[in-house]
Homo-oligomer: A and B are copies of this chain.
Amino acid sequence: MTLEQQFVEHTGKMRAYQEALALLYWDLRTGAPKKGVDLRSETIGTLSSELFALSTSDAFGELLSALETEKDGLIPVMRRSVEESRKEYDLSKKIPPEEYKEFVVLQSKAESVWEDAKAAGDFSMFEPYLEKLVATTKKMIGYWGEKNGSAYNTLLDQYEPGMTTEILDKVFGELRERIIALVQKIADSEHKPQTSFLFGQFPKEAQRDFSYEILGQLGYDFEAGRLDETVHPFMTNINRKDIRVTTKYDEKDFRTAVFGTIHECGHALYEQNLGEELSGLPVETGASMGIHESQSLFFENFVGRNDKFWNKNFELLKQYAPEQFKGIEVADYWRAINESKPSLIRIEADELTYALHIMIRYELEKGLFNGDLEVKDLPRLWNDKYEEYLGIRPSNDAEGVLQDVHWAGASFGYFPSYALGYIYAAQFKNAMLKDLPDYDELLEQGDVTPIREWLTENIHKHGAVKKPLEILQDATGEGLNAEHLASYLEQKYTKIYQLN
């Protein structure tokens, strides 16, 4: 066997473990019975530990070293695969295997406890687990060594290579200022959309059927995926031909399911359209969390909240809930779904205030890892910041600090990717308009294909062969730039609220 063949065989074996683990997690979050959770956690621990052993084996290390000596002779997908594997290898190799296994078991149990704590609205149930998660993550940072000068930068770099609190403080600062200015103008506007018709009794089955319709229209391939119900919606890559989405049905507010489904569909389209030549290699994945989020947010906001999209689809929606939308015009419907109003739940937040939710989480995480913030203080600080930025205060932990699953999975440093995804998405939209000036007409005709193909051509098909900023530069001709998002928001909300 050539070195490349050995590499493909080894990473193929790792892929098998990844598929099993993805399914074990998917199942836990879509209906696995409660009493089996403890044993399931052990199983996840055992298999993660085996995968960890494979990805940090001396044999794999030697294989990587051998491939690196003939780097120049490798084709680009293989060269980048070796680079990515080396990065992961070095990151993992520094953690003692036993501690890694315990950490995975802890995460799995913490997710289950978090679900109960959220149901009970009681942070104290989750607190000891979160404390352990933070302490263990700090210990891991000790093993890895600090990157870019701080503990939290080490975490940021794992999700978005090169990202630092210095960059984020600046970009988020600019955005925050312009968003808060808009939020205040909107609060003062006398032209607020009517929204009462949004809140009806939209049967779960009808929401599910509509979700299937929209997924089909956006080009989601149901022969290579499925839709299920969960508590906190997610997309998961079981294998490259099995890309699953999940959603949540709120019968009193159909928007949770509709925009949640479109969001996860954006993630899924990325994974369903990765280049065939990446098949079975480590680069057969998204370029970064931020780029991934740019795809979900592109579909959620630039497709799902576009007025022309609803010119096409409002009549369809009406068929599923005829009573609820009787006598409502599409223009009023569009203004209603774009209402901006400070709210408590991130995943239900509007396009404008969403980034403020992210900034709060970012500041708390930064405090936990770079400052002296303690886990026990989180509920109070969380609530204080919501009051400061959004002018509202959670009345319990379920609608406050317990709302997101991320911390239960120790995904510290992940949240900023959501806001970065926003900024990237606005940049992609701006560039796309040069190639597809009839963007709005395409949505009005229900023909999303050219839009999806543009994204596939510029983003999806490259997987992780290109790095995030390379993708951005090649697709848009510029670097990270918050201006496009800020001016898009200003134009849109000026129109909706007739600001001046």
* Residue A19 lies at the interface, judged by CB distance under 8 Å to chain B: yes
Find residues 160-205 in chain A having any chain B CB closer than 8 Å to their own CB.
none
* Residue A36 lies at the interface, judged by CB distance under 8 Å to chain B: yes
Interface string of A207-246 (1 = CB under 8 A from B): 0000000000000011111100000000000111110000
Chain B residue numbers with a CB within 8 Å of A242 are 32-33, 35-36, 39-40
Pick from A23-31, A91-99, A254-262, A362-370 the stretch touching chain B: A23-31
A225 x B42 contact (CB < 8 A): no
B240 x A31 contact (CB < 8 A): no
B36 x A239 contact (CB < 8 A): yes
Interface string of A1-37 (1 = CB under 8 A from B): 0000000000011011101100110010001111110
* Residue A38 lies at the interface, judged by CB distance under 8 Å to chain B: yes
Interface string of A98-128 (1 = CB under 8 A from B): 0000000000000000000000000000000
Task: Point out the residue from B36, B40, B222 that lies within 8 Å of A33, measured CB to CB.
Answer: B222
Chain B residue numbers with a CB within 8 Å of A36 are 224, 238-239, 241-242
| Minimum CB–CB distance for A237 against chain B, Å | 10
Q: How far is the CA of A39 from the CA of B237 in the complex (A)?
A: 12
Q: How far is the CA of A19 from the CA of B45 in the complex (A)?
A: 12
* Residue A47 lies at the interface, judged by CB distance under 8 Å to chain B: yes
How many monomers of this protein are in the complex? 2
* Residue A46 lies at the interface, judged by CB distance under 8 Å to chain B: yes
* Residue A43 lies at the interface, judged by CB distance under 8 Å to chain B: yes
Task: Point out the residue from B23, B39, B224, B241 that lies within 8 Å of A241, measured CB to CB.
Answer: B39
Chain A interface helix/strand/loop/mixed = helix
Task: Point out the residue from B16, B24, B42, B224 that lies within 8 Å of A23, measured CB to CB.
Answer: B24
Chain B residue numbers with a CB within 8 Å of A19 are 24, 39-40, 43
Which among A32, A36, A222, A238 has the greatest number of chain B C-beta atoms within 10 A? A36
Chain B residue numbers with a CB within 8 Å of A12 are 42, 46
Q: How far is the CA of A33 from the CA of B98 in the complex (A)?
A: 36
B240 x A34 contact (CB < 8 A): no
Q: How far is the CA of A221 from the CA of B33 in the complex (A)?
A: 10
Chain B residue numbers with a CB within 8 Å of A42 are 12, 16
Q: How far is the CA of A379 from the CA of B226 in the complex (A)?
A: 36
Task: Point out the residue from B222, B223, B239 that lies within 8 Å of A43, measured CB to CB.
Answer: B239
Q: How far is the CA of A15 from the CA of B13 in the complex (A)?
A: 19
Of all chain B residues, which has the CB nearest A39?
B239
| Minimum CB–CB distance for A357 against chain B, Å | 33
Chain B residue numbers with a CB within 8 Å of A240 are 39
B20 x A226 contact (CB < 8 A): no
Q: How far is the CA of A12 from the CA of B223 in the complex (A)?
A: 36
Which among A24, A224, A242 has the greatest number of chain B C-beta atoms within 10 A? A242
Of all chain B residues, which has the CB nearest A222?
B33
Task: Point out the residue from B35, B47, B224, B239 that lies within 8 Å of A223, measured CB to CB.
Answer: B35
Find residues 35-75 in chain A having any chain B CB closer than 8 Å to their own CB.
35-36, 38-40, 42-43, 45-47, 50
Q: How far is the CA of A225 from the CA of B32 in the complex (A)?
A: 8
Interface residues of A (CB under 8 A from B): 12-13, 15-17, 19-20, 23-24, 27, 31-36, 38-40, 42-43, 45-47, 50, 221-226, 238-242
**6 A-B residue pairs with CB within 8 Å:** A13-B46, A27-B27, A32-B242, A33-B225, A36-B224, A36-B239
Given contacts A16-B43, A33-B222, 20 further A-B contacts (CB under 8 A): A12-B42, A12-B46, A15-B43, A16-B42, A16-B45, A16-B47, A19-B39, A19-B43, A20-B23, A20-B47, A23-B23, A23-B27, A35-B221, A35-B223, A36-B224, A36-B241, A39-B241, A40-B238, A40-B239, A40-B242
Closest 8 CB pairs of A and B: A36-B242, A16-B46, A39-B239, A35-B241, A36-B241, A35-B224, A20-B20, A16-B43
